Amino acid sequence: MPTERWKISVRGIVQGVGFRPFVYRLAKERSLTGFVANTSDGVAVEAQGQVARLDDFLSALRDEAPPLAQVGEIVAVPIPLGDEGEFVLLHSTACGPVSTLISPDVAVCDACLAEFFSPADRRFRYPFINCTNCGPRYTIVERIPYDRPHTTMRGFAMCATCRREYDDPGNRRFHAQPNCCPDCGPQLGLVAGSGRLVARRDEALREAILRLAAGEIVAVKGIGGFHLAVDAANAQAVSCLRQRKGREAKPLAVMVADLSAARKICRLEGMEEQALTSQERPIVLAVKKAGHGLAEEVAPECDQFGLMLPYAPLHYLLLQGVVRTLVMTSGNRSEEPICIDNDEAVQRLGGIADCFLIHDRGIHLPCDDSVVGLQAGMLRQIRRSRGFAPKPIGLAETGGMVLGVGAELKNTVCLLKENQAFLSQHIGDLKNLEAYRVFQQSIGQLGALFEISPSLIAHDLHPQYLSSRWAEEQNVVTLGVQHHHAHLAACLAENHQEGPAIGIILDGTGYGSDRTIWGGEVLLGDAGGYQRFSALESLPLPGGDAAVQAPWRTAVSYLHAAYGADLPDLPFMGEHECGVILDMVQKGLNSPLNSSCGRLFDAVAAMCGGRQTIQYEAQAAIELMQVAAWELGKEVFPCEVYEEDAMLKISVRSLIRAVAQAEQSGMAQSEISRRFHGGLIAVFTRVAEEARRREKINTVALSGGVFQNRLLLEGMTSSLGRAGFQVLVHKELPCNDGCISLGQAVIGREALKKR
Ligand code: ZN
Ligand code: ZN
Ligand code: FE
């Protein structure tokens, strides 16, 4: 058997995840000699031994990697033999280019939990227990390389026992940067509403649990920021939280102790249970079960709860108390980013929380809980944030470094480097000053962590967006990208498809290249460009944003478009001052034209007796979908299509007339909803078939926030599938504006190529 020496370099998420000890163990087991070291480029190995063993070693590197590692490229080249007698683990070197990946934050692992619940263990009930396989990462790292002095744990000096674990390659805590114990690590404290510290450590926890049981609102510092916690079974307490937070009706997330508790509250499918227990621990939207025992106020008029399981050790302690189900909603006022700092929390959440369960481990970047839901047979992202960011999305191609600064709402930013896309956590609504600050911080953070300095910044076409203005202020080439083109490009990139494709982009609002509002679009194209093949008719939106808040206004305007001044008499009109709206649209006063699919849902909902004014985004559409009771019927409303301005126009007016007639004939709301959904699916399938006939394109990409409607997504994918199309749907990113930054970035990269 010949002996060889191989130089092996491993890239991917291989630092801070127990990779070197793993390599060390593999080498020892195979009697190899040589060394392993972290480099700024990943992990470097030189291994020497019999070729068969080296081969075996190489495959084990990939196949048996530790749970948090994400092994990317492995390159092995033979080099001259060395003469060391054993295999050693070398310490970090920090030089050269950095391409090591920072892992997302990870829920406490089973091994740590076992210690946590074992009275004999020195970390028994210690809320900051972690190891190389679990714990905070992205939210505590300030810069690279990922070493303790570069994290918010920098102020805690390890005790001798912790230090031994940290230095021992055979230990689960070898180089676990946040490693600590009750003697040397962070501690809990309870701060009263006045800002005074009233209890420490275990006593702080006991006091917080008692206060939760008494119906108080407790702000709890977690991994990515503060939650506002309240007993989910206490209707009065939940109402009080809603009132103080200024959140009237939008469903609140609930944390329960374990899977069996979750099963009592929701009907869970296998995939949903997997997501609940996954190391990312997202909020999972699942269908409510009768007799769930939670206060109605948690998710009023909604058929689902947003459930999650504990992920920080502290959560386990809280749920062991008297209260077994906790509302855990982001610690912010509506639309602000989640609060991360102790003093800031007392200031910003002072009017909401009765007290604050804090600790002294700093959070460097805010990171909301992620949200996923089962749609069209797969778990899909609704908000991609903690647990997922900054895990890269793999791209089919490589290219220049580009930054996409995202949309105005549900903002994320995205940096491209080689064949990877690094997306930030969910940042939120940039009109909010705090969010704008986090936006800038996140761009800086991602750029620094992954050593990316973009040669182009892609932004939304809308000139007034803060992100567009920020982009223009940088000393870098910029590119304006149409919102729905970005949706299409994001869906293609995520699916590793080059296109061209037929993009059916059903959305709320996006700035069109003709300066009107778009949102019900069929675009043909790819990252290199697009053609607006078809769209919903553009109709006036009386009062602009005011109409978004009041679907009845849109309904009146659309009825006017369909019937002229002689409106049919529908019950909903009796409730409103329709004359004012008619006047506005007739005179064209403050009534921008729009082709939004979201507004069409609003109009139909209002017309058939659904939501007239909304309390949270898309509420009217969500409730309209829910009454359709999960099934589409055979009968659908007819929807005409006609040629105008060199494109196919989809007649919103014909749909509105069909809905009005059905409403007048006394058809049930659930049936109207079904036929409306069916009508949309039929007409967009027809338009796609026409596009295929003319342009010989057989791939359809679905994107836009309206596809969070599971009835529409499922109906559309199966209808297009039956028509023989290849259908692309988002998998790792949300279909809503959370995906825009990726779309912008890949379009920007394509533009760079042509320079
Ligand atoms: Zn662990
Ligand atoms: Zn210690
Ligand atoms: Fe959008």
The DSSP annotation for 372-407 comes to EEEETTEEEEEE--TTTTTPPEE-SS----EEE---
Give the number of whichever ligand sits closest to the CA of residue 707: 3
362 exposed, middle or buried (CB, 10 Å; 0-12, 13-18, 19+)? middle
Query: How many angstroms does the Cα of residue 158 sit away from the middle of ligand 2?
Result: 5
* Whole-angstrom Cα Rg for the chain: 28
pLDDT for residue 92: 58
Query: How many angstroms does the Cα of residue 85 sit away from the middle of ligand 1?
Result: 33
Query: How many angstroms does the Cα of residue 153 sit away from the middle of ligand 2?
Result: 12
Under the phi-then-psi rule, with left for phi > 0, alpha for psi from -120 to 50, and beta for the rest, what region is 33? beta
Taking the C-alpha atoms of residue 425 and residue 404, their distance in angstroms, rounded to an integer, is 14
Query: How many angstroms does the Cα of residue 704 sit away from the middle of ligand 3?
Result: 5
pLDDT for residue 30: 94
Give the number of whichever ligand sits closest to the CA of residue 153: 2
Query: How many angstroms does the Cα of residue 588 sit away from the middle of ligand 1?
Result: 62
Average pLDDT over residues 639-660: 97
Give the number of whichever ligand sits closest to the CA of residue 179: 2
For residue range 254-287, what is the model confidence (pLDDT) as tens digits?
Answer: 999 999 999 999 999 999 999 999 999 999 999 9
| C-beta of residue 309 within 8 angstroms of C-beta of residue 277 | yes
For residue range 449-496, what is the model confidence (pLDDT) as tens digits?
Answer: 988 999 999 999 999 999 999 999 999 999 999 999 999 999 999 999
Query: How many angstroms does the Cα of residue 708 sit away from the middle of ligand 3?
Result: 11
Give the number of whichever ligand sits closest to the CA of residue 106: 1
Give the number of whichever ligand sits closest to the CA of residue 736: 3
* 175 has pLDDT over 50: yes
Query: How many angstroms does the Cα of residue 535 sit away from the middle of ligand 3?
Result: 15
Domains of the chain: 3-89 (3.30.70.100), 188-359 (3.90.870.40), 392-495+736-753 (3.30.420.360), 534-728 (3.30.420.40)
Q: Has this prediction a pTM greater than 0.85? A: yes
DSSP 8-state secondary structure symbol assigned to residue 17 = S
User: Nearest Cα to 596, choosing from 647, 545, 562?
Assistant: 545
Encoded amino acid at 675, one letter:
R
Query: How many angstroms does the Cα of residue 746 sit away from the middle of ligand 2?
Result: 46
Query: How many angstroms does the Cα of residue 154 sit away from the middle of ligand 2?
Result: 14
For residue range 180-236, what is the model confidence (pLDDT) as tens digits?
Answer: 999 999 999 999 998 999 999 999 999 999 999 999 999 999 999 999 999 999 999
Taking the C-alpha atoms of residue 609 and residue 624, their distance in angstroms, rounded to an integer, is 10
Give the number of whichever ligand sits closest to the CA of residue 517: 3
Query: How many angstroms does the Cα of residue 14 sit away from the middle of ligand 1?
Result: 16
Query: How many angstroms does the Cα of residue 341 sit away from the middle of ligand 2?
Result: 24
Query: How many angstroms does the Cα of residue 166 sit away from the middle of ligand 2?
Result: 10
User: Nearest Cα to 606, choosing from 593, 620, 622?
Assistant: 620
Q: Which of the four pLDDT bands, split at 50, 70 and 90, describes residue 100?
A: low
Query: How many angstroms does the Cα of residue 19 sit away from the middle of ligand 1?
Result: 14
Query: How many angstroms does the Cα of residue 38 sit away from the middle of ligand 2?
Result: 25
Query: How many angstroms does the Cα of residue 334 sit away from the middle of ligand 3?
Result: 20
Taking the C-alpha atoms of residue 569 and residue 576, their distance in angstroms, rounded to an integer, is 13
Residues listed for the chain? 755
Query: How many angstroms does the Cα of residue 181 sit away from the middle of ligand 1?
Result: 13
Question: What value, to the nearest 5°, has the Cα angle with vertex 286 and ends 285 and 289?
Answer: 145
Average pLDDT of the chain is 94
For residue range 15-35, what is the model confidence (pLDDT) as tens digits?
Answer: 777 888 899 989 999 999 999
